[in-house]
Amino acid sequence: MRFADRTILLGPHRISPATLLAPMAAVSIPPFREACLAQGCGLATTEMVAARHLTVRRAWRKKKPFERAEGERVLHVQLFGNSPEVLAEGARAAVDFGADALDVNLGCPARKVVGSGSGAALGRDPATAARALAAITAAVAVPVTAKIRAGWDDQSVNLVEAARALADAGAAWISVHPRTRMQMFGGRADWTLIARVVEAVSIPVIGNGDVRSAADAERMVKDTGCAAVMVGRAALGRPWIFGALARGADGDPPVPERLDIFRRYVERYVAWAGAEKAIREVRKHLLWLVRGVPGAPAFRADAQRVRTPGEVSELLERARTTLSAAPSSAIPPGLL
């Protein structure tokens, strides 16, 4: 299935290919969104942003939270917060900062987030989550989407009820990661739950969870009827997965091309965050880059020692000869 032939609407915006980069904290930042969009990703949602912090405008302006990535036609900003009021106020600020569309995080399982009543804790209470969504749509004129999990635990799988309430409250679409909060990222995503949401609502449903290849993405659409697929972990160190999805054919680019994509990514990261922070973060992306690649152990050892953009460039240059042609990488399950 060529996702380049599929379109999904986000209010006035046509999103094609019908593929999304998942919001990922400290990952879905402008340089990485740019890398994924350049490979053919349809829409790259930002990392989650605290609605409450957004209202402290000066502090956020300094952190450039809403810098648009190059090639980013639609800036889709994910917010988290613990009440309709906080989320609506954060939404207003987000749109002032330039967001073209918003997403509400109703699934984050992290203790810090659920401890304050946000993320999966808000998703646990569909009535309040729907009130929050309605408050946001009343506060801003941009499309608003929601991202949910299966429920809190196996005893309280509430995604169909939540999806109905959110659709009634005006959600433009719903993305579904069918694991419970208690599962975190363990076990397998139960795609049959995505199909149940597709049956229950008339707005588009985005399927998410364990898509690692074009073949997986095609199977997810066939099995669930979802309108688009969202990819998270399989894009780490591998933005070209979106090229495979767009074409509908698996196969990573040759190693030199991957290294060029990475070189540009590192350059953009340094420009965005400054050398020190960028290199600290880029080390883990270098490790992701060589998952499953023959000849990687030496690269991996060197990657953990790089200190400067120059050292990263040298490492990537050396890798042209040290890394042998890699097969389409199979992403090991349970990654992270």
Ligand X SMILES: Cc1cc2nc3c(=O)[nH]c(=O)nc-3n(C[C@H](O)[C@H](O)[C@H](O)COP(=O)(O)O)c2cc1C
**Which residues in this chain contact ligand X in the complex, by CB under 6 A?**
22-25, 27, 47-48, 78, 105, 107-108, 147, 177, 208-211, 231-234, 336
CA distance 11 to 123: 23
Residue type, 71: G
Answer whether 137's CB lies under 8 Å from 5's CB. Answer: no
- Token output for 271: 């420009």
Residue nearer to ligand X on the CB measure, 132 or 255 = 132
State which residue has the least CB distance to ligand X.
Answer: 232
CA distance 216 to 14: 24
In whole angstroms, the minimum distance from the beta carbon of 314 to ligand X comes to: 28
DSSP H helical ranges for the chain: 30-38, 51-54, 57-62, 84-96, 111-115, 120-123, 126-139, 159-168, 191-200, 214-224, 241-247, 255-273, 275-289, 296-303, 309-322
In whole angstroms, the minimum distance from the beta carbon of 322 to ligand X comes to: 28
Residue nearer to ligand X on the CB measure, 27 or 135 = 27
In whole angstroms, the minimum distance from the beta carbon of 229 to ligand X comes to: 9
Residue nearer to ligand X on the CB measure, 16 or 208 = 208
Our CA angle for 40, 45, 46, nearest 5°, is 125
As annotated, the active-site residues are 108
CA distance 93 to 76: 14
CA distance 316 to 330: 22
Residue nearer to ligand X on the CB measure, 278 or 331 = 331
In whole angstroms, the minimum distance from the beta carbon of 208 to ligand X comes to: 5
User: Residue holding tokens 């942003």?
Assistant: 49
Residue nearer to ligand X on the CB measure, 74 or 315 = 74
In whole angstroms, the minimum distance from the beta carbon of 288 to ligand X comes to: 11
| Burial status of residue 59 (CB atoms within 10 A of its CB: 0-12, 13-18, 19 or more) | exposed
